[in-house]
Amino acid sequence: MNYIQLSIIIPVFKVKDYVRKCLESVLAISNLNYEIIVVQDVHADNSLEDVPDLLNNPLIRICNQKNAGLSAARNAGLFLAKGEFVYFMDSDDYINPIAFSNFFVRYYPLSPDILVGAFKYVNENGEGLEQQNNQLVFTAQGVFKGQDYLLRYLSLPMVWLNIYKRSFCLDNQLDFKTGIYFEDNEFTPRALYLAQDVCVTSSPFYYYRIRSGSLAQQMFDGKKLEDSVFVANSLLDFSNYRVKEKRMKSYFAERALSIFFGTLGFFLQNHFVNKEQEREINLLLRRVSLLANLPFHFRLMLLFHRITLRGMLYVVKKRYKYKYFQS
């Protein structure tokens, strides 16, 4: 094979009804030298048994591993990748191959650290959901510095929107934290902060399938709450060790709290916080409150969040006449 411009990494798990559409869409890409790395769970999944005709394509390489989760599968693909750029795609979604290749070819000569795309929602049958599409406004297009894009435009952290220069990931030791939910929320802000040049399109090439059974549609349980605390602390750790600018430290603190409080809100719709979870939450909030050089408006916001959380926990204790409820 000639010099490989792009490695497309596709973790596969429990997507038997959707993986053919995914693979057919990436195999239809033209005008690029690329490879496809399919990372499958060899012990608990039969997603690939109906697509042997596609797997025989010389563009496809298969990586077998035990079910170690989405992050571990992405890391395995990154380790095997030979392309100058890497793209992490979900196996129940699909792309518009023409729009994708046009976007990549347009900005490839600039050799950016990250290319950022746009997407549309579809249902389980691949039919467009126009109401939800219209709720997403993509105002950015062109070339940005990573920190500027992070501050001004990042609202959706999904990794499948982005194409990364492989050397950029390796040089900065950017990998995915394993065994957690919200891995994209942990990865994307770090990557954008470290990026020099980011090329952005407002033309969608990705079709995100909303379906029952996907990771994104699962209920917010105790594991998700605990992982949101982990992600918040991870972003704060990154800010402590790598971030120098005052405005960016404030951004990472606010981003960390928004991830946590967003999850907590969904969690409390169906569960109560137990004693151990409350302890971890209070440690996180105390850590943020002790950060130096936070702007005044942010300290007010943090105080409001702490008061709100204490109020919610107080109501639960009084209403149910005992302190904690194990879900």
Task: Express each pLDDT in 48-63 by its tens digit.
Answer: 889 999 999 999 999 9
CB contact set of 220 (below 8 Å; sequence gap of 6+): 263, 266, 267, 269, 270, 271
Query: Residue 63's beta-bridge partner residues?
Result: 39
DSSP-derived 3-state class of residue 54: helix
Higher pLDDT, 266 or 161: 161
User: If 0-12 CB within 10 Å is exposed, 13-18 middle and 19+ buried, where does residue 296 land?
Assistant: exposed
Question: Residue 217 pLDDT more than 70?
Answer: no
Contact 77, 37 (CB under 8 A): yes
Chain mean position to CA 89: 11
Please give the structure tokens belonging to residue 234.
């991870």
Contact 70, 177 (CB under 8 A): no
Alpha-carbon distance of 178 to 68, in angstroms, equals 8
Q: Provide the whole-model pTM.
A: 0.86
Chain mean position to CA 190: 11
Q: What is the mean pLDDT of residues 109-124?
A: 92
Contact 90, 14 (CB under 8 A): no
Query: Residue 206's beta-bridge partner residues?
Result: 95, 119
CB contact set of 272 (below 8 Å; sequence gap of 6+): 316, 320, 324, 325, 327
Alpha-carbon distance of 86 to 278, in angstroms, equals 39
Contact 194, 221 (CB under 8 A): no
Alpha-carbon distance of 6 to 104, in angstroms, equals 9
Please give the structure tokens belonging to residue 180.
């957690």
Rg over alpha carbons for the chain, rounded to the nearest Å, is 21
Task: Please name the residue that has the structure tokens 């042997």.
Answer: 52
Average pLDDT of the chain, as a whole number: 84
* One-letter amino acid of 268: L
DSSP-derived 3-state class of residue 145: strand
| Number of C-beta neighbours around residue 163 at 10 A | 25
Q: What is the pLDDT of residue 9?
A: 98
Q: What is the mean pLDDT of residues 64-78?
A: 90
Q: What is the pLDDT of residue 277?
A: 74
Query: What percent of the chain has a predicted confidence (pLDDT) above 70?
Result: 79
Q: What is the pLDDT of residue 213?
A: 55
Task: Express each pLDDT in 84-110 by its tens digit.
Answer: 999 999 999 999 999 999 999 999 999
Question: Residue 326 pLDDT more than 50?
Answer: no
Please give the structure tokens belonging to residue 199.
């090329």
Alpha-carbon distance of 209 to 161, in angstroms, equals 14
Question: Residue 246 pLDDT more than 90?
Answer: no
The pair phi, psi for residue 194, each rounded to 5°, is -80, -15
What distances in angstroms separate CA 228 from CA 185, 231, 235, 308, one per listed residue? 9, 5, 11, 18
The pair phi, psi for residue 240, each rounded to 5°, is -65, -40
Q: What is the pLDDT of residue 298?
A: 64
DSSP-derived 3-state class of residue 149: helix
Alpha-carbon distance of 176 to 38, in angstroms, equals 17
Question: Residue 123 pLDDT more than 60?
Answer: yes
Residue 316 pLDDT grade (very low, low, confident, very high; cuts 50, 70, 90): low
